[in-house]
């Protein structure tokens, strides 16, 4: 026959309460012992009765060793949690700093009008590679190539004057 469901509330009758406490305490300590034997776990159980009497079980010879181990573990967990919170705060601060730097760079790119030029000389051939930027939007690269003859600075002046539509002597 199946047992009925027990309502979890305080037992009003003192005698019934004491009998139930005694039976359940014994069952709890038995389960703790079984857990320690079957699973090779370090188990400690501490129970105080209504009148303040102490009942305990420890899977090793000293319950104090288990209590000390618990305290060390709890302190380690608290320390780990505090370290993680500090790390998260540092990451949030770093993120805010990066966002400010990005905003400043974007603002400077919007206000800037500039051109980047690069001269490559490969096997007596020179290549002028240029890219114009207007408000941070790159325009397509183009290159001008020719045979290297004479002074490189003369070649650059010549190319610059052709691009600007002025005579090479004004450059």
pTM value? 0.45
pLDDT of residue 115: 53
CA distance 165 to 167: 7
Q: Domain extents for the chain?
A: 14-61, 62-111, 113-164
User: How confident is the prediction along the chain (171 residues), in pLDDT tens digits per residue?
Assistant: 677 888 889 999 999 999 999 999 999 999 999 999 999 999 999 999 989 999 999 998 888 898 888 888 888 888 888 899 999 999 999 999 999 988 888 877 766 555 555 555 555 565 555 555 444 444 444 444 444 445 556 666 777 777 676 665 554
3-state secondary structure of 78: helix
- pLDDT tens-digit map of 155-171: 667 777 776 766 655 54
Structural domain 14-61, CATH architecture: 3-Layer(aba) Sandwich (3.40)
Write the DSSP assignment of 3-38 as a string of letters. Answer: PPPPP-S---SHHHHHHHHHHHHHHHHHHHHHHHHH
Find the helix or strand (DSSP H, E) in which 8 lies: none
């Amino acid at each position: 026959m199946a047992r009925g469901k027990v309502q979890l509330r305080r037992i009003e009758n003192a005698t019934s309460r004491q009998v139930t406490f005694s039976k359940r305490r014994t069952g709890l300590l038995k389960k703790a012992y079984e857990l320690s034997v079957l699973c090779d776990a370090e188990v400690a159980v501490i129970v105080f009765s209504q009148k303040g009497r102490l009942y305990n079980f420890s899977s090793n010879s000293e319950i104090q060793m288990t209590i000390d181990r618990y305290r060390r573990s709890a302190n380690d967990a608290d320390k780990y949690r505090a370290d993680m919170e500090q790390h998260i705060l540092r990451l949030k601060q770093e993120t805010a700093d990066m966002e400010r730097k990005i905003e400043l760079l974007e603002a400077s790119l919007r206000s800037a009008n500039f051109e980047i030029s690069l001269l490559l000389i490969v096997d007596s051939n020179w290549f002028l590679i240029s890219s114009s930027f207007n408000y941070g939007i790159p325009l397509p690269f183009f290159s001008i190539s020719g045979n290297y003859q004479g002074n490189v600075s003369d070649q650059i002046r010549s190319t610059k004057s052709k691009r600007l539509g002025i005579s090479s002597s004004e450059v």
